[in-house]
Structure 1
Amino acid sequence: MRRSTNGRGDSRGMEPVGDGIDQPLGQSRRRGKAVSLPWSRILLVFCSLAIFATSGAVALRERPFREPPETMASAEDSSARAESQSARPAGGTLLTDEDRVHPSLIRLGPDAELSSRNVIVIRDPSSVGQHPRLAHLPDRALIEESETGPLPARGPDGRRPFDAYARPWSGARGARIAVVIGGLGISQTGTQEAIAKLPSEITLAFAPLGNSLMRWMQEARREGHELILQVPMEPFGYPGTNPGRYTLLTQASSERNLENLRWMLSRMTNYVGVMNYMGGRFTADRQAMTLLMDVLHERGLAYFDDGTSARSLAQEIALAKGVPFVAGDAVIDGERERAAILAKLDELERIARARGFAVGGGSALEVTVDTVAAWAGEVTKRGIELVPVSAVTFDPERTGQ
């Protein structure tokens, strides 16, 4: 190999052969010079470390970073919302442009209507009933255990069985009809057929002297029915006409009537209220009915008067005591023939169109159940909504009257 020399015999322009022979191809042969990283890579590494540290802090933090909405609102906004709410009527109004800048919560009454999609409604939890899948299970917060069995009771939060066990409905303002079919629990076959054939909008009333009431209650609730309990009361002509054991009597002591009433109320759960079974004389007695309404108010139950006695004081005393109340407009199966029952149902339709709602009552007879089931499939096509009895009940606690 030819080597260049400079006249002094030393080689120039070439490094020693062994110098850098172990270096990988493509890398600088000069020693001691640090390899520099681009700034973009350094920034990427730094950001990755920052994201990792932030994620760890969020995962290990005991409370979320976001504070609850109520703590974020300023005192000024809260004052403005309070003034805005105080100026609104009880039923609620539409939001104005100012409201959209400073949103406010509107408490709606049960009869309030919404005519705008821009309104956000936050409902009172006490007005919400059971989830359909849990409707057959009693709410333990609304039960008082007693020697005779579970008694309905108001919950610690003020909820009532009337609120919790009411069947939901559309809330529309059209013509509505509520039909109550009673006498369930007496005949096992009749009870089973009524639950199976009648649409879920029909309210079912159980007799306290019936059999297997808790089992039938659960089956009826699974099918979506709202329930009430029939309470036998003294009729005119008693004891010749006798509703049966545990009947509430005008001449019985208050203690005796309370004992009988407690026994009947504990026969089943998940019902919204009671109704009279017979009771022409009892419902006309002020002292006797006052005792009954005091108990219903205390336990958060409604009262349905079947409307058969013109001398009944039920409405007057119920409203004075704050008990939800509704009266029947017609007994649909006074005559146990299909044509007569249909005539009464037609009468309910006329009342509903004129007044907005109507209430009818009947018994779990085969002809009644079959006729009502067939009629229910047609009446909605005529623009009438079938609703549970609670949907047409006047509730003094909600109206403030």
Structure 2
Amino acid sequence: MNSDLNRPLGQNGKRPDPKSDKTPAVRWLLPSAAIVCVLGLASLVTYTSHQGFRRPVPEPPKPQIAEAAPATIPPPVPAHDTKSQPGNIVTAPEGGPKVIVVGDPTRRAQDPRTAHIPEPDMLEQSPQGPLPIIAPDGRRPLDIYARPWSGARGARVAIVIGGLGLSQTGSQQAIQTLPPEVTLAFSPEGNSLLRWMQAARQDGHEVLMQIPLEPYDYPRVNPGRNTLTVDASPAGTLENLHRTMGRITNYTGVMNYMGARFTAEPEALSTVIQDIAKRGLLYLDDGTSARSKADNVAAQQGAPFAAADLLIDASQDRGAILKKLDELERIARAKGTAIATGSAFDVTVEAVTSWANEAKARGVEIVPVSALVRDPEKG
């Protein structure tokens, strides 16, 4: 029986041809396949438009550069490192190249823990004893042995108490009682000066060395052994100067002990201040002689210089000393700075200690004398 007879009639009344018969599923798949082909062709065109039909040429490998080992840089040499060579030149291990550490010598200072020990490259061994000198790298005793201070503006006062070493109990009392901001000066006639200097430096004090200079009515009024006199030769003057300077170390400068006649003679004074400047020290005039030419001579020699405004204990009375200290504060508030000198009498030490603590509360800064010098090197 012919199977075509079993096919249903179409809408036109004819049986469909089996070769052209397409079911609905087949009719749906044909358009879908066409869409897929179109999208695939579009993707191929897009790819080839960017990449071409060839594989991209690989980039040539970068040359390999051997990485050098980092150079070993020695750490900066601290100011208190006594093992460093002069000029801050540090030698690398096994004979390597030398590295020069560049710095500002005036911004260095001793480590407070070793402030009583002298810097070996700042000492000259002489027949008169160890003398201070400027180090090969330019460091000066004035800078290295100076006590630090805040550097702030405002009323600043320096107080210098001299005569250390004359009395054992008085020296001990002054070192232990006075605030560490107070500068201490050692008498050329004192005893055990090296021991007292070390104690003062360990307690934070800046120190000076007093130099005996010829007063009027000399020798009836006698500052003591090794006094510098107007009539001495320059060589004799320097010998006596160095004998006194060689008694201690670690000081920032010198100040006169008496010497009204000597300081009034520019020629004699020039020999002293020239040597002081050459050694990187300051010169402090105690301000007791109106005839002193120290200011002019120091300016001519390019020496760091300061002059005291007041002597606070000409009268050894507590009330009178406190009045002088109040006057010192008025001067400092008027012109910014002021310097006072005194001696290590018990009454002076007690009055200065009491006044200094109150002055700090009023905003007055007690500074070492080195902070108030006129220093040509610092402009």
TM range (shorter): 0.7 to 0.9
> Following the alignment from structure 2 to structure 1, what is the Cα–Cα distance between the partners of residues 132 and 105?
19
> TM-score when scaled to structure 1?
0.69
Structure 2 residues not aligned, in runs of 5+: 1-65, 76-101
Please name the residue that 1:136 is paired with.
116
Please name the residue that 1:166 is paired with.
146
Specify the SS of the correspondent of 1:372: helix
Specify the SS of the correspondent of 2:270: helix
Residue 258 of structure 1: how far off its partner (Å)? 1.1
From the superposition, tell whether residues 359 and 123 of structure 1 become closer, same or farther in structure 2 (CA, over 3 Å). Answer: farther
Matched letter for residue 360 of structure 2? T
Please name the residue that 1:199 is paired with.
179
Kept in 1: contact 2:105–2:137 (CA 8 A): no
Please name the residue that 1:149 is paired with.
129
- Shift >3 Å, 4+ stretches: none
Please name the residue that 1:264 is paired with.
244
> Following the alignment from structure 2 to structure 1, what is the Cα–Cα distance between the partners of residues 106 and 122?
12
1:294 aligns with 2:261: no
The sequence identity of aligned pairs, in percent, is 56
1:218 aligns with 2:198: yes
Please name the residue that 1:63 is paired with.
71
Q: Which deviations, in whole Å up to 9, do the C-alpha atoms of 1:355-381 show, x marking residues without a partner? A: 001000000000000110111110011
Residue 398 of structure 1: how far off its partner (Å)? 1.1
> Following the alignment from structure 2 to structure 1, what is the Cα–Cα distance between the partners of residues 234 and 108?
35
> TM-score when scaled to structure 2?
0.73
Please name the residue that 2:287 is paired with.
307
> Following the alignment from structure 2 to structure 1, what is the Cα–Cα distance between the partners of residues 305 and 274?
13
Please name the residue that 1:369 is paired with.
349
Pick one of 151, 167, 172 that aligns with 1:187.
Answer: 167
Matched letter for residue 179 of structure 1? I
Residue 62 of structure 1: how far off its partner (Å)? 7.2
Matched letter for residue 216 of structure 2? F
Q: Which deviations, in whole Å up to 9, do the C-alpha atoms of 1:166-200 show, x marking residues without a partner? A: 10000001100000000001111100000000000
Matched letter for residue 116 of structure 2? H
1:249 aligns with 2:216: no
> Following the alignment from structure 1 to structure 2, what is the Cα–Cα distance between the partners of residues 123 and 347?
40
RMSD over equivalenced CA pairs, Å: 1.9
Residue 148 of structure 1: how far off its partner (Å)? 2.3
Residue 209 of structure 1: how far off its partner (Å)? 2.4
Please name the residue that 1:383 is paired with.
363
Specify the SS of the correspondent of 1:354: helix
Specify the SS of the correspondent of 1:192: helix
Specify the SS of the correspondent of 1:181: strand
> Following the alignment from structure 2 to structure 1, what is the Cα–Cα distance between the partners of residues 262 and 139?
29
Aligned length: 288
Rg: which structure is higher? 2
Structure 1 residues not aligned, in runs of 5+: 1-53, 69-121
Specify the SS of the correspondent of 2:171: helix
Kept in 1: contact 2:140–2:279 (CA 8 A): yes
Specify the SS of the correspondent of 2:283: strand
Specify the SS of the correspondent of 1:145: strand
Please name the residue that 2:88 is paired with.
none
Residue 257 of structure 1: how far off its partner (Å)? 1.1
> Following the alignment from structure 2 to structure 1, what is the Cα–Cα distance between the partners of residues 337 and 331?
7
1:177 aligns with 2:185: no
Please name the residue that 1:339 is paired with.
319
Residue 127 of structure 1: how far off its partner (Å)? 2.2
Please name the residue that 2:376 is paired with.
396
> Following the alignment from structure 2 to structure 1, what is the Cα–Cα distance between the partners of residues 71 and 284?
50
